Amino acid sequence: MYFKYEGTSPSGSHKINTALAQAYYYGQSGVKEMVTGTGAGQWGSALAMACHPYGMECTVFMVRSSYRQKPYRGTLMRLNGAKVFTSPSEETEVGRAALRADPDSPGSLGIANAEAIEYANDRKEARFSIGSGENHVLMHQTVIGEEALLQMELAGEFPDVVIGAMGAGSNFAGITFPFYRAAQTENPATRFLAVEPDACPKMTRGSYLMDHTDYSGVTPAVKMYTLGHTFMAYHIHAGGLRYHGAAPIVSAMYHHDLVEAISYGQNRVFESGAAFAKAEGLVPAPESAHAVAAAIDEAVKAREERKKRVILFGLSGHGLLDLSAYESYLSGETVDVVPTDEEIQKSLRPLLEPT
């Protein structure tokens, strides 16, 4: 078993790989402020760090439930000069409308992105930036897989399965895409496994439809596996995986059976994260612990079948700002919540009805 660890970056995750690239190019084009939405705060932290060296302001709308669960993410962003609003907020009409509909709304990444878009549109020198499912982001993140390819070459092995946690897709694509290319000649039987939470199962239970990437529906519709852009996932601790859709490229690969998908509940994920922490001395982010759970299951299956199997998974970030989540698990307070078929169909219905 091998893992590619991204938690030693300054921001604590893989997100800095695209944040630096975007900040550089935006800065070169004269942009003075970058505005974004963030789920668990890894992307917001990375963008705040990336904007600072280029003299740009950074404004972040962070999903309310995640902000409450991990307030120090907000602290980290503000330390790097960012303005941070919990989303839904009173700063935008999108946020105000969401609060009118539900004053206790836990928020979603779709709402946070919609707020960021509206906020940026109202400011001449500001631009909206996104850190997950877009094509350019997936391309930036392939540095993960390209590095891992060289490292596996040094180890003298090629994986039989490559595993990545699946939110919108940047981490999963980052580690798998280079191996997908190399597998065509090295090991055509290599499998690629996306791991998502039971609470937000866009690939395993969603539909392949044209949908918007933000809650308000102002973004261009793209073909992807989705639960509907108004879907409100339960506020699980793996906030970075609560996005309603999967990246169009990843979705197309899944639709054509080129990659696989599986989902897990929170308790199984934290059990795996705790086991990994004991074994390796590294605390995985709750998002990353989804990949750990799948890797453990793959290893157990290989042992039961008495087959040699080379397993590689992406450990996309550390969980040192998620210790309260692990404390909830250790205290027996973590709950597994799975959306009903009716809840999913309700958010998908507008996309299925003819206009």
pLDDT bin (cut points 50, 70, 90) of residue 200 is very high
pLDDT bin (cut points 50, 70, 90) of residue 354 is low
Share of the chain above pLDDT 90, in %: 90
pLDDT at 217 exceeding the cut of 90: no
For the record, the structure tokens of 123 come out as: 């400011």
Mean pLDDT lowest among 19-23, 66-70, 283-287, 331-335: 66-70
Q: If you average pLDDT over residues 142-170, what whole number do you get? A: 97
Q: If you average pLDDT over residues 53-65, what whole number do you get? A: 95
pLDDT bin (cut points 50, 70, 90) of residue 121 is very high
pLDDT at 355 exceeding the cut of 70: no
What pLDDT score does 210 carry?
96
